[in-house]
Amino acid sequence: MGLGTQDSLGDAEDFVTDYGTQSFTMLWDESFVTWQEIGITSQPAAVLLAADGEPISGWVGPFPQDEVLELAAESQAGG
């Protein structure tokens, strides 16, 4: 899921088009509160959440796909 908060909704829609992120759900929060709540201070950034919503790990800048997949698998296996 992507979460846009900066600029405008139109800019967020352009981002989806420009970067081809149509394959996952994009949300828009004009209040910026969600980014503050999960500690996002710049973009690009990513946060991997467990099924219960607890953060597993986070990255600023490009994130390592292999590490994300490994952490997701560990979380799913309960470890």
Is residue 25 pLDDT above 90, yes or no?
A: no
Range of the domain at 57: 44-79
54 and 76 share a domain?
A: yes
48 and 31 share a domain?
A: no
Residue 79: what pLDDT? Answer: 58
Which secondary structure element, helix H or strand E, spans residue 3, and what is its range?
strand 2-4
Is residue 16 pLDDT above 80, yes or no?
A: yes
Q: If pLDDT is split at 50, 70 and 90, which confidence band does 4 have?
A: confident
26 and 55 share a domain?
A: no
CA dihedral 77, 39, 45, 63 (to 10 degrees): -40
34 and 48 share a domain?
A: no
pLDDT digits (tens, 9 = 90+) for 32-71: 898 888 888 887 888 888 888 888 899 988 888 899 899 9
11 and 34 share a domain?
A: yes
If one counts the domains in the chain, the total is 2
**19-35 average pLDDT score:** 84
